[in-house]
Amino acid sequence: MAGANTGGCRGAGLRLGAAAGLPDAGAAPAASGPGGTGLPASAASLTAQSSRRKNRYLLLAPEGEKKACTGYVPRSAPSHSEAYGEGPVFSQRLENAARLVECRLDQLMGELAAGGTPPRLIAAMRHAALGGGKRLRPFLVLECASLFAVPASAALATAAALECVHCYSLVHDDLPAMDNDALRRGKPTVHKAFDEWTAILAGDGLLSAAFWLLAGSEAHQDPAVRSQLVCGLAAASGAAGMVGGQCLDLEADKLNRPAAPDLAHVERLQAMKTGALITFACTAGALIGGATADEQAALRCYGERLGLAFQIADDLLDREGDATRLGKATRKDAGKATIISVAGVARARQWLDALKAEMAAALAPFGPRAEGLRQAAHFVVSRTA
């Protein structure tokens, strides 16, 4: 297991990387960095590079779009979104990100309704996208962008687009033909609150809305950057990313293929199903901020490890967690291809500890600026809901 090359992230944890089918975030490292972190040999100088480099992010979101959610003031948070990430503890930072994204998603639903979307479809999309969820993926976009002095308002469209894709995936995942879940985020799943055909169309609508957001100048005023964001999210969410991982998951669950999944198969499945979108969140923030190739590689390394840690923690919660606290059914992964089913609970917890150390190493070059991302890693590894 140790030492597998993960496209800029090497270490003692689980294999990751190429299985997700994502475009490389930066040049492959010439050599492992100090201390066996697997970062590029020049990684130790990233902080110095950043301080010398002019901020290449020059253009913010259009003023008309910025006003609506900049004034959406979170409780116990800075008075405007431009100060996102300054001072609040992690729970407040996560709440701040969630409120900003909720505001932009609510605004998006209004825009779609005004454009002629049928009321029933808008209602189902709102049910799926608003009023719940940790919003961890959009938080990562905002937090990674903030490493490069990008204000939250300028990364918000990308963060909201990613959340649209995540919410669409949950709507479809909950359908009877897939996981057949009745509860999501503490409320009835979309097909229970409405019906199956409405749920399918609501998911389709959210997926389309994501790329509508990314293709517009609100995401970035440089068309080349927007193109990279669109391509990156398409890869992360598509047949060689999240959708492909879901296929592998359902093949194992419903067709018993492979009959006895090994660790390599489970790692590939989870890197695609869960890790791909989380990795995109980190590299998207870096892309918006004009990060160097080495900085992108470091954040890609962090994102890959965080994605795997998130899935292992999720599997542990399914096995040991409380459905009321989680807001969804538990004990439904028995018999599925998971790290726990292949390696057991004790070994899964050991890997979580190893992944936490590798994430810390990946973030070391960014110094104190990355404290929010360090706390996010701790949150993912130790979460109980």
327-350 burial: b if 16+ Cβ within 10 Å, else e: ebeeeebeebbbbbbbbeeeebee
Quick one: CA dihedral 189, 172, 268, 264, positive or negative?
Answer: positive
CB atoms within 10 A of CB 374: 18
At position 317, the amino acid (one-letter code) is: L
> Which domains are seen in the chain, by residue range?
62-382 (1.10.600.10)
Separation between Cα atoms, residue 242 and residue 203, nearest integer Å:
14
Q: Tell me the whole-structure pTM to 2 decimals.
A: 0.79
User: C-alpha dihedral over 145, 276, 348, 377, to 10 degrees?
Assistant: 10
- pLDDT for 383 equals 80
- pLDDT for 154 equals 97
The pair of three-digit structure tokens given for residue 268, joined into one six-digit string:
């590939």
| 8 Å CB contact between 28 and 8 | yes
pLDDT in tens, the chain (385 residues): 333 333 446 543 444 333 333 333 333 333 333 333 233 333 333 433 433 333 333 233 333 344 457 533 333 333 333 334 444 578 899 999 999 999 999 999 999 999 999 999 999 999 999 998 899 999 999 999 999 999 999 999 999 999 999 999 999 999 999 999 999 988 999 999 999 999 999 999 999 999 999 999 999 999 999 999 999 999 999 999 999 999 999 999 899 999 888 999 999 999 999 999 999 999 999 999 999 999 999 999 999 999 999 999 988 988 775 555 545 555 565 657 888 888 889 999 999 999 999 999 999 999 999 999 999 999 999 887 6
| 8 Å CB contact between 10 and 3 | yes
With CA atoms as reference, report the closest residue to 101 among 184, 166, 24. 166
Separation between Cα atoms, residue 125 and residue 378, nearest integer Å:
32
Separation between Cα atoms, residue 237 and residue 234, nearest integer Å:
5
Residue 90: which residues within 8 A CB-CB, separation 6 or more? 372, 375, 376, 378, 379
| 8 Å CB contact between 340 and 316 | yes
Separation between Cα atoms, residue 311 and residue 333, nearest integer Å:
12
Tokens 């599925």: give the residue.
336
- pLDDT for 317 equals 87
The gap from C-alpha 20 to its chain's centroid, in whole angstroms, comes to 13
Q: Which residues, listed in sequence order, are joined to residue 184 by a DSSP beta bridge?
A: 187
